[in-house]
Amino acid sequence: MTKIHEDIPLNVTQIILRANSITNIGPNSFSKFTELTHLYLGFNKIRTINDAAFEALVKLKILILHINVW
């Protein structure tokens, strides 16, 4: 997977997208998931993260970004 799927329910509290080929986190990539508390993005190929990528996630408590190599 190289991008975030559109079919994820909006009221999820956890999203696990580890071990994919995601390279970019844009400003609105997760903004519609307002209940999100845990986001796992480790083991991808993330090179850029927009400054506003997680701005709308006011309930986010855990963000995992480890081991992103390209």
The answer for residues whose C-beta is within 8 angstroms of residue 4's C-beta and 6 or more apart is 17, 22, 29, 30
- The CATH code of domain 1-70 reads 3.80.10.10
Residue range 13-17: mean pLDDT, rounded: 97
Show me where the domains of the chain are located. Answer: 1-70
Task: State the Cα–Cα distance between residues 50 and 45, nearest whole angstrom.
Answer: 15
Model-level pTM? 0.91
The predicted-structure confidence for 23-69, as pLDDT tens digits, reads as follows 999 999 999 999 999 999 999 999 999 999 999 999 999 999 999 98
Task: State the Cα–Cα distance between residues 61 and 47, nearest whole angstrom.
Answer: 22
Task: State the Cα–Cα distance between residues 39 and 31, nearest whole angstrom.
Answer: 12
Asked if residues 37 and 15 have their Cβ atoms less than 8 Å apart, the reply is no
